[in-house]
């Protein structure tokens, strides 16, 4: 798995909208394939939806295009995209996750036809709108329901996340992910992998690490500073004091909100959303505080796996989640080796803004 494909900002170029008298969106409509779906459900209002912002380079595989940009420059990159705009991109690491979100929406619409409490995916890219024609055609080719785009023409899209009411942001650019986290938005860095395990197409499965992901890094700091025994003592002494929230707590909360809609229709046991806590904590020594914290927040987790320091890979191989969040690259890399789409949450003391990711060869100015 390589982080050679992490999102980075494109260099600024001329305003390409002047090349055509028609708006790019009009060109896109003229070029859509016959298979383009003609009837789609109305998207929910942003303030009612659970909004997932995904960068173009985690939703689709754009490796060839990135190499053209790096080796030949922006103008050749744009020329190539325009010449190939009717050729769809292949799926990227976030593709199965997005498809699972749409499958959940389908079931929610059947149960609650008038409700706007749905997932809403927004494509966030710093590509120019002129390059966006190929993205539009690709979305229609794969029959994805993505109506909201944010194409910023070389500028960072982070400033738009709050305007879109974003609940989760996924990007291959760790700097942009950190910016989002600093704005209080759940975010994680996603990597392109050589191997991706087949996942369920009927149930969305989301796995979370505990400390520095769902919870704050308070306990992690005790462990780093004083060792394992002091960590156990600290957790025992504070087991009735809830941990502070971590960066992904709000996303688990949003998932729980939708789960309850299925529970209300008697579908608890066959709910199409399932959540997992996969933590290195020991159950007897430090698990109590984790579970009591979730209870104090009014949140449920479907399955809690306390591994007492054992590798997470075998558990993830069994779960087959669409996405797994962890704050330590060691666990992200281990998950990727067995084909799990694993995201790095750059938060807390244990990972401290790593300078290198998985085989990192990133440049600092590529379109995404």
Q: Cα 106 vs. chain centroid, distance in angstroms?
A: 20
Instruction: Catalytic residue, from 7, 173, 209, 211: name it.
Output: 209
Contact 329, 357 (CB under 8 A): yes
d(C-alpha 305, C-alpha 16), whole Å: 52
Tokens of 65: 């295009």
Which region, left, alpha or beta, applies to residue 295 given φ > 0 means left and ψ of -120 to 50 means alpha? alpha
Tell me the C-alpha to C-alpha distance, in Å, between residue 97 and each of 152, 201, 204, 287. 24, 9, 7, 29
What are the counts of helices (DSSP H) followed by strands (DSSP E) for the chain? 13, 12
Active site residue 7: no
Is residue 365 exposed (0-12), middle (13-18) or buried (19+ Cβ within 10 Å)?
Answer: middle
Contact predicate 220/201, CB 8 Å? no
Token duo for residue 47: 């303030």
* Beta-strand pair 50-55/119-125: parallel
Three-state DSSP state, 279:
strand
Active site residues: 209
């Amino acid at each position: 798995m390589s982080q050679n494909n992490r999102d980075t900002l494109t260099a600024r170029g001329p305003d390409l909208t002047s090349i055509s008298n028609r708006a790019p969106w009009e060109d896109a409509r003229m070029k859509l394939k016959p298979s383009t779906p003609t009837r789609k459900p109305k998207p929910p209002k942003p303030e009612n939806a659970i909004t997932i912002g995904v960068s173009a380079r985690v939703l689709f595989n754009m490796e060839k295009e990135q190499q053209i940009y790096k080796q030949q420059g922006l103008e050749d990159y744009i020329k190539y995209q325009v010449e190939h705009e009717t050729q769809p991109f292949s799926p990227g690491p976030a593709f199965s996750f997005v498809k699972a979100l749409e499958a959940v929406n389908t079931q929610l619409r059947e149960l609650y036809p008038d409700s706007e409490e749905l997932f809403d995916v927004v494509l966030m890219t710093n590509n120019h709108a002129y390059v966006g024609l190929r993205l539009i055609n690709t979305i229609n080719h794969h029959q994805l329901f993505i109506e909201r785009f944010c194409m910023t023409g070389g500028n960072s899209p982070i400033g738009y996340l709050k305007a879109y009411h974003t609940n989760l942001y996924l990007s291959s650019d760790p700097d942009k992910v950190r910016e989002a986290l600093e704005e209080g938005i759940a975010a994680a860095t996603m990597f392109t992998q050589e191997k991706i395990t087949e996942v369920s197409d009927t149930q969305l499965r989301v796995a979370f690490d505990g400390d520095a992901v769902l919870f704050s890094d308070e306990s992690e700091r005790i462990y780093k500073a004083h060792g394992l025994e002091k960590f156990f003592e600290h957790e025992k002494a504070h087991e009735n004091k809830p941990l502070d929230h971590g960066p992904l707590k709000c996303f688990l909360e949003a998932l729980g909100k939708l789960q309850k809609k299925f529970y209300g229709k008697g579908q608890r046991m066959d709910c199409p959303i399932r959540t997992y806590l996969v933590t290195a904590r020991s159950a007897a020594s430090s698990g109590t505080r984790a579970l009591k914290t979730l209870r104090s927040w009014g949140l449920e987790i479907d399955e809690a796996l306390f591994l007492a320091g054992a590798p997470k890979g075998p558990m993830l191989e069994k779960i087959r989640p669409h996405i797994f969040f962890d704050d330590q690259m060691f666990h992200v890399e281990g998950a990727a080796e067995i084909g799990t789409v694993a995201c790095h949450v750059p938060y807390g003391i244990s990972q401290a803004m790593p300078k290198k990711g998985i085989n990192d060869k990133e440049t600092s100015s590529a379109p995404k």
